[in-house]
Amino acid sequence: MTEYRVTDPTTNDVLRRVAIASDDQVDAAVARADSAYRDWRRRPIGERAEYLSAVAAEYRADRVRLAAIITREMGKTTAEALGEVDLVADIFDYYAQNGPSFVAERRLETPTGEAVVRSSPIGVLLGIMPWNYPYYQVARFAAPNLVLGNTVVLKHAPNCPESAAAISELFDRIGLPIGVYENVYASEAQVARMIEAPAVQGISLTGSERAGRAVGELAGRAMKKVVLELGGSDPFIVLPDADLDAAADAAVAGRMGNAGQACTASKRFIVLDEVHDEFVDRFVRRVQALRVGSPTDPNVAFGPLSSETAAATVIEQVNDALAHGARALAGGRRPSGAGAFVEPTVLTDVPASARAYHEEIFGPVAVVYRVTSVDEAVRLANDTPYGLGSVIFGADAALMNEIADRLDVGMVSINGPSQTQADLPFGGVKASGFGRELGDYGMAEFVNRKLIRTHAPR
């Protein structure tokens, strides 16, 4: 990687190039964050919260321009881009309003005197963020940690230099002290350099399993705390008593949103035999009705994938499945013409020998499986290296909660698609990573819970 660049995935035209920072610039950014931390941590938490409220207001005021940036960078539809900006504003507001109570001093009962646990920041944090939600991914990491009193150095994805700059500019606009939030256009080698820097106390990465393994290894050697939010191959279980129209609507929304480029997108649809054909018929008809085209067209469901490489990878996975005996019930091809477009696709009869069985498909491709029992559904749902989210549709609440307990995942959604909210924890298990973001859990990762004990007089 020699540069950051904006490539419009609708046309594959390169619109802008940004040079990678020098080692001196990277070191200076870390040094500014370290220096700023010493003042920032001492400011009252209420004052830090006011900065978050101000940045939330800036996101709302500038939402149209901000949305246009990520549409141009990675092909998100205008409606989805505006929704992402609104969610980011909600996240900053949430931590501004609730952050102080999340770190309130906790008094412990002890017969030997008095004891309290105080939550305090730990220092400079390095955030390594992906391209699929350029603002949201940054917000869910930065907001809780800034209000806590940590400072942030942010390394964004190479295809998101403009949104990375826009985030930094918003913080400058509200007068955030220099060094509290630093944006760096860093290379992979410079990421390793920052992880090893003594000033950096923690690392948060949202990205691929490959990136997570590399960063986790570096962080472990450096004895640094790390949070990894990685990929997913989320199951969507349809039980015989499910509302099939509601399930099919949720299946389309949960799989095809953001052109299928979400770690928590439902990717494997596991349907009980009694309703398999009826559900698949509803699902396929809805998928075939989706329009794909320019992300600025309000009538399209989704635009291109983020890049030509992303589109080619998805089609390779589809073709591999077909070569191993799978069938395409819808789509399965790339439309003619320029751009990183992929047809909305539904595959069935995908065998365990195909890449699509175990790999995450990061695009608008759904894989449908028929099962004959709940036990088989759970076994298939858990037959993946990932463990992020999941969806269950049915009418028997007790059964669905039992299934939820048996799923090896970090999140379960019953009778609705997986959705992010500022007040609900987010994270997974297995190869989907570890640690949690959002909700009060979002302030529980990079924190020093300091015990202060006062002994009773003898």
Catalytically annotated residues: 229, 263
Q: Is residue 66 within 8 Å of residue 164, measured between CB atoms?
A: no
Q: Are strands 386-387 and 365-371 parallel, antiparallel or unpaired?
A: unpaired
Residue entry with tokens 């939030």:
181
User: Residue 288 — left, alpha, or beta (φ > 0 → left; ψ -120 to 50 → alpha)?
Assistant: alpha
DSSP 225: E
- H/E segment holding residue 387: strand 386-387
Determine the Cα–Cα distance for residues 201 and 297; give it in Å rounded to an integer: 44
Number of C-beta neighbours around residue 453 at 10 A? 12
Number of C-beta neighbours around residue 111 at 10 A? 5
Determine the Cα–Cα distance for residues 287 and 290; give it in Å rounded to an integer: 5
Helix (H, G, I), strand (E, B) or coil at 417: coil
Determine the Cα–Cα distance for residues 341 and 364; give it in Å rounded to an integer: 10
From the number of C-beta atoms within 10 Å of its C-beta (0-12, 13-18, 19+), residue 429 rates as middle
3-class SS shares of the chain: helix, strand, coil, % to 5: 45, 20, 35
Q: Which two tokens stand for residue 376?
A: 């088989």
Q: Is residue 286 within 8 Å of residue 330, measured between CB atoms?
A: no
What letter represents residue 117's amino acid?
A: V
Helix (H, G, I), strand (E, B) or coil at 109: coil
Q: Is residue 84 within 8 Å of residue 92, measured between CB atoms?
A: no
Q: Are strands 448-455 and 113-120 parallel, antiparallel or unpaired?
A: antiparallel
